Copies of this chain bind each other. A is one copy, B any other.
């Protein structure tokens, strides 16, 4: 139980901070949400810069081009990354946080060689083909069929919530290869090239008005059998490896950045006049904000504990569900209060009069997804109560 960073950790911090201070401003502002070409360029070129500087794949093994940083270096990385307001992982999310790690653990040598080096260099964008209209929380109910025909699987189905589908080269795709097996038993995990015939992409605008998500319709798409990762019908196990990453430290920098957002809220409150005093003079607001600070510090300590626990195996533990629930509720509460501080000016989703409306409202709207995506809060509570507390499954 030692929170001291070692001398080498601190040296790493100095090195990383120096690099970020120099590179982040140079990389400029992220393009408009609907400028897909710009976004891909912005996100992937940043990934390439990280790679060239030796900061890509911070927790990836060296053999895959990663930094293989120690647990404490990873924490330094998340902290400094957040502090520098460095670019969000963006279109590289699925490759770096799902596809790549899954291939490392479950892929063949050929599959690893074909994708991992490109993913970590930002040369390959991946998307996720897991959920379906009737398989959301109940992911294992997925219906997309893959039937063997020669060296291919012929895939038919309908995926949804596919982020960055329109700019991806590959899709981590879950398909049903044995329709007669029990629900969890007949699923396989495929790498689907997105340029195959029969793939149709329809954007599904979010309540923020962006088109980050798509529906993906698959009609007789021929995916080579060689693109299967893991054994046939063993895809559910492979998937569970993947999913845990989402509940682990995928959002660590975002969690740390909440600290900054709270500090910004305080500054904004000080700058706003209400009833002839600053909004920060309102003691009720201060008490809420102080309470949030306690929770934010605890959240970051939870991450430290979670990272340390997953350090040995590299796979986040079940406690990751607790981190996700805590982060979700806290983010929603902080942003709700932030909206209240901005008050009537929050009727505008663009920044006016030096108020950070655009950012705050985007985050407030986005925060609604946190309790839904990557396992809803209800699913997380089921995971905790069943797998940690030992209660029976729902019947």
Contact = CB atoms under 8 A, between A and B. Distances in A.
Interface of A: 282-284, 286-288, 395
A266 to B, nearest CB: 16
A274 to B, nearest CB: 13
A283 B277 CA distance: 14
Nearest to A287: B284
A288 B284 CA distance: 9
User: Can you tell how many copies of this chain the complex includes?
Assistant: 2
A78 B194 CA distance: 71
A377 B250 CA distance: 37
Given A282-B283, A284-B287, 6 more contacts: A283-B283, A283-B284, A284-B284, A284-B286, A284-B288, A395-B395
Give the 5 A-B residue pairs with the shortest CB-CB distance, closest first: A284-B284, A283-B283, A284-B287, A283-B284, A282-B283
A257 to B, nearest CB: 27
A114 to B, nearest CB: 48
A282, A283, A288, A395 interface centre (most CB from chain B within 10 Å): A283
A288 B285 CA distance: 12
A105 B395 CA distance: 40
Contacts of A282: 283
8 contacts: A282-B283, A283-B283, A283-B284, A284-B284, A284-B286, A284-B287, A284-B288, A395-B395
A282 B285 CA distance: 12
A2 B246 CA distance: 56
A395 B282 CA distance: 49
Contacts of A286: 284
Contacts of A284: 283-284, 286-288
A395 B287 CA distance: 44
A284 B287 CA distance: 7
A286 B282 CA distance: 11
A283 B286 CA distance: 10
A283 B284 CA distance: 6
Nearest to A394: B395
Contacts of A395: 395
A361 to B, nearest CB: 24
A92 to B, nearest CB: 42
Nearest to A283: B283
A287 B284 CA distance: 7
A395 B284 CA distance: 45
Nearest to A282: B283
Contacts of A283: 282-284
A287 B395 CA distance: 44
A24 B288 CA distance: 44
